[in-house]
């Protein structure tokens, strides 16, 4: 604790700043030039008025001519909506669900209903996360990096023909604030209910001619709102800190070299599950209040995993990495090289049965790293009719995992055991994309990608302490496929563009490796491919007053990767990632931005999707569990889920409204509500009843004072104002099905300074 506070205090003494303050002066060269003028303070005040007291224009105007369904978010919008973790992004984009795995730092993505629950996190995510053009092979590596941001972009649908790595679901890209050629610094403090605090800071400026730096940091503390009714213990406090440094060198007017590095230490407690149904056994489930949870840790299990006997469900994670960006303007083209190395060291304890008994207590350790290298050549004149990019991408990852389980109070097992394995992965891809603007504002575009992926599972051992040990044979899988895209866009009016594109996406196969009992469980699942039709439009029918963007899509899947069920004789059903031979989904998303009258600004996102399996024979978990409850015998009840809904939320809504008022010549006020809705979601194939998470609606609000000088900002806010009980995700342990509850009402305040 003292080491973290010393580090953060050091950054603060350098007058480091908030992410909000960082993005305004830092990101635009023209603004930097204004800051270097003799009247820099006046220039700073002028540009801050534009984005605070007098904000009337919609952001990302140039993107209105790009044929995509991306959701683009400014740093200011992210801060207004309280986006401080990766999971919070689902509150500001349509058709996006990001869920914690069992309340932990690991996350699963579903975009347009495309995604799967990968508890072991040893496979390529269906939706990739990028920070500064660096893809994270394992989503947990992105933990703790959501500070000092410049902007964010959510891209739905197949990707990979223009940069980075191929995927079928899409990507979420974050851009962090860059160094500045003039001095800027500041800090922010956010304090809220349950003793939650979030502190951020940064400093940025020149070190020498052509050499600039940026140093930023964040700490998060408190906020735990769960209690154990049996012991009175408190659970859920954050305890993390992070640092990021960037060094930019411009040796000449055509070359930029950026070296970045980050370090995250996360010892936060996790949210513990609430059991909703007992699958095995006759013991009653605990009767819990909405902010209560039960957990336990046997001394014997604590000694086995080498952690304190007082350990609560929590993380003990360390993430660090660095990347080197080199950009060179060759005149006829621009060459870009991105080299990155990312690591994670994770220790995670969860009580998955959600009771005081030791029926599914789990401790997991992960040691992983990933090296990526991207090299691309692209056109350098944005005004040219011909735009193109060609490139190659390489990834190498290594992972070792160990799961420790305490089943002592589970009568069918009554032991402690471990499963450990290693995974080696390597992939290469080549890609290219081209577009050409014809007369009459018609643009044709297309791209192609070829990817080869090899991965192997090694050294898998399952050991029952005091019992049998099973050593499994290694397995490997390889895949090589083409993906691509063709389309056309038409700028039919100066303010309106329409487009159509056909995309083929590819995602390699992999392994399910959790709680392995028989060799057949290690059979790899195959690649996933999707053919996506998308038609959309972007329009500013009343510039500065009304913006309408929308897209409709149809996904034709082959080998869609989902979590199905496998029956282990005399053991029970276990989750296993498998391929659906044939499935489909369709839907639409849209964004409306309005400034109908003076002072009022409204943003509304809407996402709707449907999907079903067209051919999917698998174990029917609900029927199998019902048969066991009746007979006490595990017997696989198989079903063909053809025609069954894919279980993803059909409707997602989120938005906000603001009243923006200049109180004086030097002070403005923003005030208004925000809201989000997510429909019900299945946690098992074909799930109904408790196998589905209930829908929920959340309401929040904020009020912000902004001076024209831009030197400070003060906000009061509330989230989940109605104090609704809702559940973010769910799953199953050995004996119970459980939900992960969402946060109760939080009321807080935030103040930031900026110079």
How would DSSP label each residue in 340-373? EEEEEEEEEEEETT-SSS-SSEEEEEEEEEEEEE
CA distance 169 to 535: 17
Task: Tell me, yes or no, whether 392 lies in a domain.
Answer: yes
Q: Shortest CA distance to 716 belongs to which of 750, 676, 666?
A: 750
Task: Tell me, yes or no, whether 478 lies in a domain.
Answer: no
CA distance 268 to 219: 11
Q: Which helix (H) or strand (E) holds 20?
A: helix 19-26
Please name the residues in contact with 677: beta carbons below 8 A apart, sequence gap of 6 or more.
651, 652, 653, 654, 695, 696, 697, 698
Q: State residue 658's pLDDT score.
A: 95
Q: What is the pTM of this model?
A: 0.89
Q: State residue 139's pLDDT score.
A: 84
Q: State residue 194's pLDDT score.
A: 97
Q: Is the pLDDT of residue 426 over 80?
A: yes
CA distance 31 to 656: 28
Q: Is the pLDDT of residue 722 over 80?
A: yes
Mean pLDDT for all residues in the chain: 90
Q: Give 305's strand partners.
A: none
Q: pLDDT per residue over 657-689, tens digit each?
A: 999 999 999 999 999 999 999 999 998 888 889
Q: Is the pLDDT of residue 223 over 50?
A: yes
Mean pLDDT is lowest, of 236-250, 265-279, 425-439, 502-516, for 502-516
Q: State residue 15's pLDDT score.
A: 36
Taking the CA atoms of the chain, what radius of gyration do you get in angstroms?
26
The token duo for 68 is: 């995509």
CA distance 554 to 609: 9
Q: Is the pLDDT of residue 211 over 60?
A: yes
CA distance 65 to 156: 17
**Better-predicted residue by pLDDT, 517 or 264:** 264
The token duo for 641 is: 């889920």
Q: Is the pLDDT of residue 322 over 50?
A: yes
DSSP label of 43: H
Q: Is 140 helix (H, G, I), strand (E, B) or coil?
A: helix
Q: Is the pLDDT of residue 36 over 50?
A: no
Task: Tell me, yes or no, whether 433 lies in a domain.
Answer: no
Give the residue-averaged pLDDT of 737-749: 96
Q: State residue 54's pLDDT score.
A: 44
Confidence of residue 610 (pLDDT cuts 50, 70, 90): very high
**Better-predicted residue by pLDDT, 579 or 119:** 579
CA distance 455 to 511: 9
DSSP label of 684: S
Q: State residue 12's pLDDT score.
A: 40
Q: Is the pLDDT of residue 34 over 50?
A: no
Q: Give 217's strand partners.
A: 201, 243
In degrees and rounded to multiples of 5, residue 41 shows phi and psi of -65, -40
% of the chain beyond a pLDDT of 70: 92
Confidence of residue 573 (pLDDT cuts 50, 70, 90): confident
Task: Tell me, yes or no, whether 182 lies in a domain.
Answer: yes
The token duo for 438 is: 């014809």
% of the chain beyond a pLDDT of 90: 77
Is residue 440 classed exposed, middle or buried when 0-12, 13-18 and 19+ CB atoms within 10 A define those classes?
Answer: exposed
Domain span at 651: 2-424+439-470+486-754
Angle between the 29-36 and 40-51 helix axes, to the nearest 10 degrees? Answer: 140
Give the residue-averaged pLDDT of 190-207: 98
What string of H, E and C letters represents the secondary structure of 169-217?
CEEEEEEECCCCCCCEEEEEEEEECCCEEEEEEEEEEEEECCEEEEEEE
CA distance 77 to 191: 19
Mean pLDDT is lowest, of 179-193, 559-573, 578-592, for 559-573
How many domains are contained in the chain?
Answer: 1
Task: Tell me, yes or no, whether 481 lies in a domain.
Answer: no
Q: State residue 626's pLDDT score.
A: 85
Q: pLDDT per residue over 434-453, tens digit each?
A: 999 999 999 999 999 999 99
Q: State residue 261's pLDDT score.
A: 98
Please provide the size of the chain in residues: 755
Mean pLDDT is lowest, of 43-47, 117-121, 270-274, 410-414, for 43-47
For residues 244 and 145, is the Cβ–Cβ distance under 8 A? yes
Confidence of residue 19 (pLDDT cuts 50, 70, 90): very low
Mean pLDDT is lowest, of 38-47, 84-93, 482-491, 652-661, for 38-47
Q: Give 397's strand partners.
A: 370, 425
Q: Is the pLDDT of residue 1 over 50?
A: no
Q: State residue 446's pLDDT score.
A: 98
We report the CATH number of the domain holding residue 245 as 2.40.170.20
Please name the residues in contact with 432: beta carbons below 8 A apart, sequence gap of 6 or more.
161, 388, 389, 390, 391, 447, 448, 449
Q: Is the pLDDT of residue 333 over 70?
A: yes
Task: Tell me, yes or no, whether 728 lies in a domain.
Answer: yes
Task: Tell me, yes or no, whether 330 lies in a domain.
Answer: yes
Q: What angle is formed at CA 535 by the lines to CA 493 and CA 59, rounded to 5 degrees? A: 55
For residues 705 and 324, is the Cβ–Cβ distance under 8 A? no
Q: Measure Cα distances from 334 to 133, 179, 388, 436, 596 in Å.
A: 16, 21, 11, 18, 42
Q: Give 155's strand partners.
A: 171
Give the residue-averaged pLDDT of 292-319: 96
Task: Tell me, yes or no, whether 479 lies in a domain.
Answer: no
DSSP label of 567: E
């Amino acid at each position: 604790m003292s080491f973290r506070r010393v580090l953060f205090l050091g950054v603060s003494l350098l007058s480091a700043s908030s992410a909000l303050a960082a993005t305004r002066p830092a990101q635009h060269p023209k603004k930097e030039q204004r800051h270097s003028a003799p009247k820099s303070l006046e220039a700073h005040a002028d540009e801050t008025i534009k984005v605070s007291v007098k904000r009337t224009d919609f952001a990302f105007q140039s993107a209105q001519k790009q044929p995509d369904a991306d959701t683009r978010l400014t740093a200011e919008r992210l801060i207004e909506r309280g986006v401080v973790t990766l999971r919070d992004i689902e509150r500001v984009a349509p058709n996006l669900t990001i869920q914690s795995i069992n309340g932990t730092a690991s996350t699963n993505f579903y975009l347009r209903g495309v995604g799967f629950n990968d508890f072991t996190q040893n496979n390529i995510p269906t939706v990739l996360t990028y920070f500064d053009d660096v893809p994270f092979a394992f989503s947990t590596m992105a933990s703790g990096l959501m500070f000092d941001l410049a902007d964010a972009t959510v891209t739905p649908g197949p990707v990979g023909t223009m940069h980075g790595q191929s995927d079928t679901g899409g990507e979420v890209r974050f851009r962090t604030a860059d160094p500045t050629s003039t001095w800027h610094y500041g800090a922010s403090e956010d304090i809220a209910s349950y003793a939650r605090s979030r502190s951020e800071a940064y400093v940025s400026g020149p070190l020498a001619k052509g050499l600039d730096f940026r140093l930023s940091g964040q700490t998060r503390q408190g906020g735990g709102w769960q209690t154990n009714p049996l012991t009175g213990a408190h659970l859920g406090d954050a305890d993390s800190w992070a640092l990021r440094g960037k060094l930019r060198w411009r040796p000449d007017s055509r070359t930029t070299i950026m070296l970045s590095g980050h370090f995250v230490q996360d010892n936060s407690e996790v949210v513990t599950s609430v059991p909703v149904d007992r699958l095995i056994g006759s013991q009653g489930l605990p009767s819990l209040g909405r902010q209560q949870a039960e957990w336990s840790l046997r001394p014997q299990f604590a000694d086995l995993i080498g952690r304190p006997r007082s350990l609560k469900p929590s993380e003990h994670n360390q993430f660090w990495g660095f990347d080197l960006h080199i950009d060179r303007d060759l005149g006829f083209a621009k060459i870009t090289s991105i080299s990155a190395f990312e690591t994670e060291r994770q220790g995670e304890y969860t009580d998955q049965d959600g009771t005081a008994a030791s029926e599914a207590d789990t401790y997991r350790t992960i040691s992983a790293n990933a090296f990526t290298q991207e090299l691309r050549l692209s056109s350098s004149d944005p005004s040219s009719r011909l735009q193109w990019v060609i490139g190659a991408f390489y990834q190498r990852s290594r992972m070792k995992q160990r799961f420790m389980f305490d089943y002592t109070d589970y009568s069918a097992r009554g032991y402690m055991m471990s499963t450990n394995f290693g995974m080696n992965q390597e992939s290469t891809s080549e890609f290219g994309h081209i577009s050409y603007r014809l007369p009459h504002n018609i643009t044709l575009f297309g791209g192609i990608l070829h990817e080869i992926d090899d991965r192997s599972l090694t050294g898998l051992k399952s050991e029952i302490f005091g019992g049998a040990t099973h050593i499994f044979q290694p397995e490997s899988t390889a895949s090589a496929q083409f993906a691509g895209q063709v389309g056309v866009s038409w700028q039919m009016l100066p303010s309106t563009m329409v487009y159509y594109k056909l995309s083929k996406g590819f995602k390699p196969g992999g392994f399910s490796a959790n709680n392995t009992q028989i060799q057949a469980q290690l059979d790899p699942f195959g690649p996933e491919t999707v053919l996506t039709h998308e038609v959309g439009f972007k329009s500013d029918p009343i510039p500065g007053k009304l913006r309408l963007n929308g897209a409709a899509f149809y996904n034709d899947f082959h080998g869609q990767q989902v979590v199905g069920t496998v029956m282990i004789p005399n053991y029970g059903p276990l989750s296993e990632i498998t391929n659906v031979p044939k499935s489909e989904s369709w839907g639409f998303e849209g964004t409306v931005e309005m400034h109908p009258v003076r002072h009022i600004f409204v943003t509304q996102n809407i996402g709707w999707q449907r999907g079903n399996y067209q051919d999917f024979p698998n174990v029917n978990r609900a029927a199998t569990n019902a048969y066991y409850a009746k007979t006490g015998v595990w017997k696989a009840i198989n079903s063909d889920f053809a025609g069954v809904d894919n279980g993803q939320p059909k409707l997602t809504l989120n938005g906000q409204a603001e009243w923006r008022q200049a109180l004086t010549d030097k002070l403005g006020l923003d005030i208004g509500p925000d809201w989000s809705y997510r429909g019900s979601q299945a946690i098992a194939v074909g799930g109904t009843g408790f196998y589905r998470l209930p829908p929920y609606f959340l309401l929040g609000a904020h009020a912000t004072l902004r001076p024209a000088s831009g030197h400070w900002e003060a906000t009061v806010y509330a989230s989940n104002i109605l104090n609704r009980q809702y559940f973010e995700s769910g799953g199953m342990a050995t004996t119970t099905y459980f939900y992960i509850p969402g946060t109760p009402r939080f009321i807080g305040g935030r103040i930031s300074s900026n110079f």
